[in-house]
Chain A
């Protein structure tokens, strides 16, 4: 885990990747305000779970007999795998942008959507979970919880502010790819850090 707070924040922002998540969220099939509230609730749940994982990080790694450096290597590999999947697979685009096609997998109506699909599986991702676990054991619960909070706030902010149009979509796709590349770099950093740790 990178040892400066802002690098931790950057790591969680690119791992959260608001530009990749927003298209996968159920935003178009319900009133805008309801959709935003459900995303905010899903984000709050994610913050809570990741915060708990960060707090449990040292205990969990110890129980599994995994040293923090080896945890970093695992986190790096998961992060890279996730970034590569995201680079080559765009789960939301075919459904959200191509209005000629109906939503292939409509989300449940009402507040249930905050739990699923928003909280899980869209926002709570394996790469975030392992970053929180290892980060909690490495740099402590506080910095990780703060970083998750900032990352989720950015996601909710982007969901609320984004007005989908030609340029927004291009911007979103470009930054999605940038975030994926950032995620790969983060993964490499984690692996190198883990290998070179004492």
Chain B
């Protein structure tokens, strides 16, 4: 056999081989071991660092209740006389950074009424006070509808939606019907924002008295979806199911293409809505069923949330972690993952036809809650800051907390309790 008869390696391959091939087999052995060590080290540090899920599936209800209690305390202690809350706060400078957001205000009502249902003292009073703030800012939108927003600027439909979601929570828990009329008027306003295709106009303009066409929002669509779903749960004869199902079809099949969003929106509000719809008697008794597209959408949502918590749980803010994973996310960001996984878990338990690994979904849900518990400022850490009352029970990033950090995180913690108990509220 002659070398000239045989196809030779390319010149580039030869150069590389000559440069990197050891001269002896011992050298090759050492080289092999070095490659293994290098691969293992690089991958452990940069590709698959520890997922810090804390106790994970061993997370206890007591731990969650303690963390949720601290969060409720923050919301009670940092509420203003008019029912609004401390919005943005710098803990080291002990500085109120100002600003406010009405939709997030309504979101806090949800969290506090959820906390009230879970038995936290003071939560309902704080939420009712927050509700008074809402009632002082109602705007007539015509046809019996009302919005929650400014009279001299665009009204975001998310404010009315989250107020409804919170009030339904209150209504179901207490049986008190004092806010029924408000809920119905919010419902009529929201229904007017839903188009024939199921898309949701996010804004309503008092100057024109009409919805702003194609004013799509990443969040309001899901919020209206959930609020209308909840309205149908407690007022099943009012026809709230039709717009709800229109939104579901749109969200599952068209939204990300039409609006457009890429990648698809990880939408915890839509997850809440689907879990709510799964409670409807029509779905429970089999008269209606979730479409394949809706179930596929739920799967995509579970995938988005899973990859997010698998990534987020790797972040420690250490030097290596900072440069390979980035800084830890906002409390609100982590909380929304928790809200979504909680809701998807409820949906999975209520709809067995949804083909998802429930054990793994539960693991991700409990991992998220564990990370929330670990990153919250606890009693002892709070004492290291100038104003412990404004620090304890909150989630900070860059020394700053914003009230929606508490909103989403508290909701995620409250709604994980059934997951820990492994019992689905019907």
Contacts and interface: CB of A to CB of B under 8 A. Distances in A.
Contacts of A95: 21
B376 interface: no
Given A99-B2, A117-B28, A65 B21 contact: no
Contact of A105 (B1, B24, B44): B24
Interface in B335-361: 356-357, 360-361
Interface in A124-169: 126, 164-166, 169
A94 B9 contact: yes
B100 interface: no
B150 interface: no
B310 A120 contact: no
A88 B19 CA distance: 13
Nearest to B34: A121
B39 interface: yes
Given A166-B5, A198-B360, A67 B310 contact: yes
B271 to A, nearest CB: 13
A88 to B, nearest CB: 6
A74 interface: yes
Contact of A93 (B13, B24, B25, B40): B13
B364 interface: yes
B35 A121 contact: yes
A117 B29 contact: yes
B208 interface: no
B48 A108 contact: no
A107 B310 CA distance: 45
A170 B6 CA distance: 8
B51 A66 contact: yes
Given A70-B51, A70-B310, A126-B39, A166 B7 contact: yes
Give the interface size class of chain A: 35 or more
Nearest to B2: A99
A121 B22 CA distance: 12
B302 A198 contact: yes
Best-surrounded residue of B5, B32, B356 (most CB of chain A within 10 A): B32
A43 to B, nearest CB: 17
B424 interface: no
Contacts of B21: 91, 94-95, 104-105
A116 interface: yes
B22 A105 contact: yes
A126 B36 contact: yes
A164 B1 CA distance: 9
B12 interface: yes
Nearest to B360: A198
B47 A73 contact: yes
Contacts, number: 121
B207 interface: no
A78 B28 contact: no
B307 interface: yes
Given A116-B29, A198-B360, A170 B24 contact: no
Contacts of A197: 303, 306-307, 360
B48 A66 contact: yes
Interface in B283-330: 299, 302-303, 306-307, 310
A106 interface: yes
Contacts of B356: 198
B356 to A, nearest CB: 6
A170 B47 contact: no
A173 interface: yes
B82 interface: no
A129 B5 CA distance: 37
A181 to B, nearest CB: 16
A97 B3 contact: yes
Given A121-B28, A198-B302, A97 B43 contact: no
Contacts of B105: none
B43 A89 contact: no
B257 interface: no
Nearest to A168: B6
Contacts of B36: 126
A91 B17 contact: yes
Contacts of B17: 89-91, 93-94
B50 A66 contact: yes
A11 interface: no
A121 B310 contact: no
Interface in B11-27: 12-14, 16-18, 20-25, 27
Given A77-B47, A121-B35, A126-B35, A99 B1 contact: yes
A78 B335 CA distance: 33
Contact of B47 (A74, A90, A195): A74
A71 interface: yes
Interface in B265-281: none
8 contacts: A89-B17, A94-B9, A94-B18, A99-B3, A100-B3, A104-B23, A120-B32, A164-B6
Give 10 nearest A-B pairs by CB, closest first: A121-B32, A65-B50, A74-B48, A93-B9, A98-B3, A198-B302, A89-B16, A198-B306, A126-B39, A74-B47
Given A117-B29, A120-B32, A197-B306, 16 more contacts: A64-B50, A66-B48, A66-B50, A67-B310, A91-B17, A97-B3, A97-B9, A105-B25, A105-B28, A106-B25, A165-B1, A196-B303, A197-B303, A198-B299, A198-B306, A198-B356
